[in-house]
Structures are given as structure tokens and as C-alpha cells.
Amino acid sequence: MKPIRVLLADDQQLLRTGFKMVLGTEADLNIVGEAADGVEAVEMSRRLLPDVVLMDVRMPRQDGVAATREIVAQKLPVRVLILTTFDLDDYVVGALRAGASGFLAKDVPAEELVAAIRTVAAGDAVVAPRILRRLLDRFADLLPDPNASPPTRISTLTDREREVLVQVAKGLSNAEIAQALMVSETTVKTHVGHMLTKLGLRDRVQAVVLAYETGLVRPGSP
């Protein structure tokens, strides 16, 4: 298998060095570059096309949220994994809305960092829906007015797909959704796949964010 190509984006050289030491011991991971700010992160993502960018939030010239948004807008085949402080940056929700595939605390254990990179490179997200929901509840004031008209693309979903979207946003796994809807887990996976495709979303993380934005799920709802 081809090694996973990783770009490090952090304004602190010491942290980049630490990440390199950890990731350099993994045979399937290859550090292809280092960026010291968001502008460099975007430029190097465009030039190097890494599989995953480990993106710090607070950087000079351009922060990680803006850099993530630009990478996604350019439709680069690059996935972004946001790095944040232990107490959660207020920018995290914005980063996820911008198209990040998830986030990690900077003090995450090495084995979790490595596993997260592999997960993101494989096309999945690394934020558990329940954790993301708590984040969105906490930062609900950063989201658009839930009473606003929902995007027209939501109307493309079938009733069942919309129901699955709500269950995903509530933090249920495929197995739990299957039990709640009294269908097979395979059926749920099919509905989730169709829902993501119709909405133009990369993963379940973006589905949860969209469910909040459209008011399908409200902060603090059961």
C-alpha cells in the first residue's frame, strides 16, 4: 500500500518536530512538508497534494479555519484534521463547517493521533457524533438561525433519509439507528450513503453540522 502523505501545519516548530518524531516511526505514514501558517498550508496543499493535513487552528497570516475553507473550496483531494487546545477552541465548529474531517486535542496520545490520521485518510471522520453534538450545543451561537429556511438540497432527501440524518445528528451509530428504525444495519448504511451523496457531504461529521444548521436538530434537544 502507498504510504499516507501528511502535511504538518503549525506555527510552533517544537510541536511540528514532536509530530514528526511520532509519525516518523510509522511505516505507512510519510511527512511530505511543514507549514508555519495558514497561507503556507494552502499553498503546500495545492502543490504537494498530501492525503491529510494536520492543521493547527491559531496561526499567523491565516488561521486554520480559513485555510481549511480555502483547501475545500479549491476541491483539492486533501482531508484536514484540525488540532486544537485541550479546552476546545471556539473555532472548532467553524472548522468543521468549513470542511474539516474532524479534530484532535493537541495532547492526544500518540497512538490516537496515528489512528486518526489513518481514519481520515480512509475517508472517515474522527469526531464521534456524540462529541460533536456536545460541541455544537456548546457553540450554538456560532450557527445560523435555525428558523431560517433550510437549504433546498434537504428537500432532495426521502422521508427515510431525512429520518436517518436526524438520528445521525443525535449521535446514534448505524447499529443503534437500525434498532430504532427496526431495519437492518446494512439498510441504514445504504441510507447514510445516499444521504451523504445527495447532500454533497464528505462524512457523518458534516451531516451533523448540517442537521444543526437546518434546524432538524436543535441544541439541547433529546
pLDDT tens for residues 117-132?
Answer: 998 888 777 765 556 6
The type of residue at 156 is T
What would the pLDDT profile of 12-38 be if each residue is shown by its tens digit?
Answer: 999 899 999 999 899 999 999 999 999
Number of C-beta neighbours around residue 134 at 10 A: 13
Cα 204 from chain centroid (whole Å): 8
- Cα separation, 177 vs 163, in Å, equals 10
Residue 113 near residue 216 (C-beta atoms within 8 A): no
Given a contact cutoff of 8 angstroms between Cβ atoms, the answer to whether 198 and 135 are in contact is no
pLDDT digits (tens, 9 = 90+) for 143-195: 555 455 555 678 889 999 999 998 888 778 788 899 999 999 999 999 999 99
Those residues with Cβ within 8 angstroms of residue 47's Cβ, 6 or more apart along the chain or in another chain: none
Read off the pLDDT band of 138 (50, 70, 90). Answer: low
CA distances from 93 to 26, 33, 75, 160 (A): 30, 26, 20, 27
- pLDDT over 50 (residue 67): yes
Task: Tell me the average pLDDT across 84-98.
Answer: 67
Which residues fall within 8 angstroms of residue 4, CB to CB, at 6 or more apart?
Answer: 28, 29, 30, 51, 52, 117, 118, 121
Q: Which CATH superfamily is domain 4-127 in?
A: Response regulator (3.40.50.2300)
User: Yes or no: is domain 140-213 CATH 1.10.10.10?
Assistant: yes
pTM of the shown model = 0.69
* CA distance readout (Å), 190 to 82, 92, 120, 157, 203: 28, 29, 20, 13, 14
Q: Where are the domains of the chain?
A: 4-127, 140-213
Average model confidence (pLDDT) for the chain? 83
